[in-house]
Amino acid sequence: MITIAIILLILWALGFGVFHVAGGLIHLLLVIAIIVILYRVITGRKPI
């Protein structure tokens, strides 16, 4: 799950300069990544 969050954050960062047209989708991916990270921090789960 943390790998997915990192990938989403990278895609979001690229969205500022490269994929300006898909800005709304990129920001949605960012929100999903933040939710995943917060969930893992709150529950204290560790990767397998």
| pLDDT tens profile 14-30 | 766 665 666 677 778 78
Residue 48 lies in a domain: no
The answer on pLDDT for 47 being more than 70 is: no
Count of domains observed in the chain: 1
Q: What is the identity of the amino acid at 7? A: I
pTM, two decimal places: 0.49
2-18: average pLDDT:
76
The boundaries of the domain holding residue 11 are 2-43
Q: Confirm whether 11 is domain-assigned.
A: yes
Is 35 a domain residue? Answer: yes
Does residue 37 sit within a domain? yes
Give the residue, 36 or 11, on which the prediction is more confident: 36
Residue 38 lies in a domain: yes
In a domain, 22, yes or no: yes
Ramachandran region, residue 44 (left: φ > 0; alpha: ψ -120 to 50; beta: rest) = left
